[in-house]
Structure 1
Amino acid sequence: MVFELFTKGDLSVIYEVTSEDFIYHGSSGDSTRQKLKDFMGWYRTCFQDDQWEINDLIEQDNKLVVRYTGFSTYKGGWFNIPSTNQRVKETGIMIYYFEGKKVKELWCELSDANVLYQLDALPKGTHETFQN
């Protein structure tokens, strides 16, 4: 059910799968579950027609680590970057910490810079890593 929040955009599950004191750790700092819900709502308007692959799934004690790859179509709405319905690839790692059956913390590292590069928001040749 926790994956449905991200893979299907089912925002109704966020209060079912997270604890009341849930903390989301992302590139913008720490957030509440309401802010994560708001972010996911925004994200799903900007990036649509998504397909996700789980590349690694590691579980230990109360921790779950997921390394994923996603493909979606950019529809606009991010840093005023215009959309030409570009198909982009995103990669990331999420680390879930559970308290009982609820997610208490989520750490998330995403490939935002690479996605910006794919959308031509970063000039070509700015970083060799993104040149494929």
Structure 2
Amino acid sequence: MIKMQYKTVAHRWFNEYFTKGDLQVLDELTTEDFIYHSRRGENTREKMKDFMVWYRKVFQDDEWTIEDMIEQNDKLVVRYTGWMTYKGGWFNIPPENQRVKETGIMIFQFSNGKVCRLWCENSDAAILFELGALKQNTHEIF
């Protein structure tokens, strides 16, 4: 059974941080030395706040569903689906108020009840395809 504390953090992450863009919730949910491991390296809590400021301008009207949660020791794996409306500001993609879908998996690592590390794999390429930034019919879709 998944710890209620872990579930609460995951729901707050999506409902307050993503949907509402509440930057202060990161201070509540993460340790001071929090690290988000991305393809570009390690990112601090402050970088995550910067990301959310950008994200709220580019995507709005979010709806997130937590599909699955798996807990192992001090980690919680969350598989999620989100829908959002693109408002412009990502690469040179024109804003058309297009609704797009993101899927992904986040791995939260906890220390003393707070998130100390985070990894995320998501479907950015699929979103770019939906927005027309990737050339149509250049690869098979499964």
Q: TM-score, normalised by structure 2?
A: 0.86
- Per the alignment, residue 64 of structure 1 pairs with 76
Equivalents in 1 of 2:106, 2:19: separation in Å? 13
Tell me the residue number matched to 1:49.
61
Superposition deviation, residue 8 in structure 1: 2.7
Q: Per the alignment, in what secondary structure is the counterpart of residue 53 of structure 1? A: strand
Q: Is the 8 A contact 1:27 1:109 kept in 2?
A: no
* Aligned residue number for residue 104 of structure 2: 92
Q: 2:45 aligns with which of 14, 24, 33?
A: 33
Counterpart secondary structure, 1:96: strand
The question of whether the paired residues in 2 share the 8 Å contact of 1:23 and 1:30 is answered with yes
Tell whether the 8 Å contact from 1:48 to 1:73 is kept in structure 2 after alignment. Answer: yes
1:15-68, Cα deviation, whole Å (9 max, x unpaired): 111111110012332101100110011111101011111111112221111000
Verify the 8 A CA contact 2:19 2:61 in the aligned structure 1: no
Work out the percentage of aligned pairs sharing the same amino acid. 65
Aligned length: 130
Pick aligned residue for 1:82 from 89, 94, 100? 94
Cα separation, 2, equivalents of 1:72 and 1:6: 11
Specify every segment of 5 or more residues in structure 2 that has no aligned partner in the other structure, as ranges.
1-11
Contact 2:110 2:117 (8 Å CA) reproduced: yes
> What RMSD over aligned residues (CA atoms) do the two structures have, in Å?
1.3
Q: Which runs of 4+ in 1 moved over 2 A?
A: 1-4
Q: Give, in whole Å, the separation in 2 of the partners of 1:16 and 1:29.
A: 23
Task: Note if contact 1:65-1:93 (Cα within 8 Å) is conserved in structure 2.
Answer: yes
Displacement after TM superposition at 1:9 (Å):
1.8
- Retained in 1: the 8 A contact 2:75–2:108? yes
What are structure 1's unaligned runs of at least 5 residues? none
Partners of 2:96 and 2:125 in 1: CA distance:
19
